[in-house]
């Protein structure tokens, strides 16, 4: 089933020494991730992470299909999540619209009103298979991908399995995989299940969710040395973290250097609970959604460039972060046409003088 799987992989894992890795079939044009969105839902009570990822793939001329690898500390449950989830998250972090009611007076002459400009308001619109030290724990089709859940006893056995299934098991991949195999993590291999003959241009498969147990929430930020890019050449990574409090990202080595990401949003929102319900329901999880859920959104435009994995912990800052509101004015205009006022004034004076003359004559 994985005979043509090119190793284009965004290796997604979760726990210590987590990482992301891209690769491609030897001799073929590379498939690249131009932007991606990730949602991490953390259930602290059950020590369970739901990891949802959506990415845009691009290639000028990839002759074979592609996929990605995801190491996790425990065997994950796989599910497909509708892209509407990320649309809902995007709506939550958008600036709120503040309407200000304004009353103004206009003295524009009525005769000149035809010259007034018209303004329009723009609305922001399964059987276990063993093969040379590698166990195939599960197979599934999810989010437009064929997935094989693997457990390997040694790195060389896993590399051999990857080579037999079309992966370019280069030295950088061996270095990247070794720590995970030593920790006896599970590796889930995804293969694009669409047209196998050629993938060209741009593609955005459905979002895939991996739900698994872990001691701490994290993001696979570390990548193999041969695919790291300079910060100025990075792609956009938007990461949403849903939990019960504001969080911050920290690399596994601690405070030696900070994560080069900006916090776009961090606050409670009732809409987050609906998003989590969709994710946990589709992953067949019975997690209870907190009544008030905190969402934090990070933007990182330097990925992939990490040498360490990223972990999340409660932030020392407890204040909410929200974008400045968009102020829209509802203007009520009260017209006092100057020419009409002057005409009335002239008529009033004329009538007054006329009446005054009459009174004088009568006297």
Measuring CA to CA, how many Å separate 245 from each of 162, 254, 260?
A: 40, 20, 21
Span 233-274, pLDDT tens digits? 888 899 999 999 999 999 877 756 788 899 999 999 988 988
- When pLDDT is averaged across residues 342-354 and rounded to a whole number, the result is 81
The count of structural domains within the chain is: 1
For residue 239, being part of any structural domain is answered with yes
Residues 59, 200 contacting (CB under 8 angstroms): yes
pLDDT band at 119 (very low <50, low <70, confident <90, very high): very low
Structural domain boundaries, residue 218:
32-99+126-328
The answer on pLDDT for 64 being more than 60 is: no
pLDDT band at 342 (very low <50, low <70, confident <90, very high): confident
- SS3 of 145-181: the string is EEEEEEEECCHHHHHHHHHHCCCCCCHHHHHHHHHHH
For residue 10, being part of any structural domain is answered with no
Residue 171's pLDDT is 86
Residues 8, 22 contacting (CB under 8 angstroms): yes
For residue 261, being part of any structural domain is answered with yes
Query: What is the distance between the alpha carbons of residues 70 and 312, in angstroms, rounded to a whole number?
Result: 19
Span 266-302, pLDDT tens digits? 999 988 988 998 888 755 555 555 556 899 999 999 8
For residue 14, being part of any structural domain is answered with no
For residue 349, being part of any structural domain is answered with no
Q: Among 306, 310, 283, 290, which Cα is nearest to 51's?
A: 283
Query: What is the distance between the alpha carbons of residues 41 and 52, in angstroms, rounded to a whole number?
Result: 8
Nearest 5°: CA angle at 141, between 135 and 143?
Answer: 125
Burial degree of 38 (CB within 10 A; 0-12, 13-18, 19+): buried
Tokens for 297, please give them: 């959104």
For residue 352, being part of any structural domain is answered with no
For residue 6, being part of any structural domain is answered with no
Residue 29's pLDDT is 47
For residue 207, being part of any structural domain is answered with yes
Query: What is the distance between the alpha carbons of residues 307 and 174, in angstroms, rounded to a whole number?
Result: 15
Query: What is the distance between the alpha carbons of residues 301 and 287, in angstroms, rounded to a whole number?
Result: 32
- When pLDDT is averaged across residues 52-74 and rounded to a whole number, the result is 69
- When pLDDT is averaged across residues 45-56 and rounded to a whole number, the result is 86
- When pLDDT is averaged across residues 323-352 and rounded to a whole number, the result is 77
């Amino acid at each position: 089933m994985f005979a043509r799987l090119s190793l284009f992989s965004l290796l997604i894992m979760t726990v210590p020494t987590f990482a992301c890795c891209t690769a491609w079939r030897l001799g073929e044009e590379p498939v690249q991730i131009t932007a991606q969105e990730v949602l991490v839902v953390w259930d602290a009570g059950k020590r369970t992470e739901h990891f949802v990822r959506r990415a845009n793939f691009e290639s000028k001329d990839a002759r074979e299909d592609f996929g990605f690898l995801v190491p996790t500390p425990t065997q994950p449950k796989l599910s497909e999540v509708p892209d509407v989830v990320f649309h809902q998250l995007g709506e939550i972090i958008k600036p709120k619209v503040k309407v200000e009611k304004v009353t103004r007076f206009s003295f524009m002459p009525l005769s000149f009103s035809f010259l007034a400009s018209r303004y329009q308001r723009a609305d922001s619109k399964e059987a276990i298979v063993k093969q040379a030290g590698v166990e195939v724990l599960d197979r599934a089709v999810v989010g437009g991908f064929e997935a094989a859940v693997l457990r390997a006893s040694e790195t060389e056995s896993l590399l051999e399995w990857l080579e037999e299934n079309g992966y370019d098991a280069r030295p950088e991949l061996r270095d990247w995989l070794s720590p995970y195999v030593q920790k006896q993590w599970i590796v889930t291999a995804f293969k694009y299940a669409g047209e196998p003959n050629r993938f060209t241009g741009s593609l955005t498969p459905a979002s895939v969710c991996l739900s698994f147990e872990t001691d701490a929430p994290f993001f696979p930020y570390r990548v193999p040395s041969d695919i790291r890019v300079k910060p100025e050449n990075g792609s956009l990574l938007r990461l949403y973290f849903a939990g019960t409090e504001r969080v911050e990202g920290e690399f596994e080595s601690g405070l030696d250097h900070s994560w080069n990401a900006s916090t776009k949003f961090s606050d409670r929102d009732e809409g987050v609970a609906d998003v989590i319900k969709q994710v946990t329901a589709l992953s067949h999880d019975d997690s209870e959604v907190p009544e008030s859920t905190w969402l934090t959104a990070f933007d990182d435009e330097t990925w992939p460039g990490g040498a360490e994995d990223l972990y999340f912990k409660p932030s020392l800052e407890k204040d909410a972060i929200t974008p400045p509101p968009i102020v829209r004015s509802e203007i009520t205009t009260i017209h006092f046409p100057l020419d009409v006022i002057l005409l009335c004034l002239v008529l009033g004076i004329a009538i007054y003088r006329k009446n005054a003359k009459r009174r004088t004559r009568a006297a």
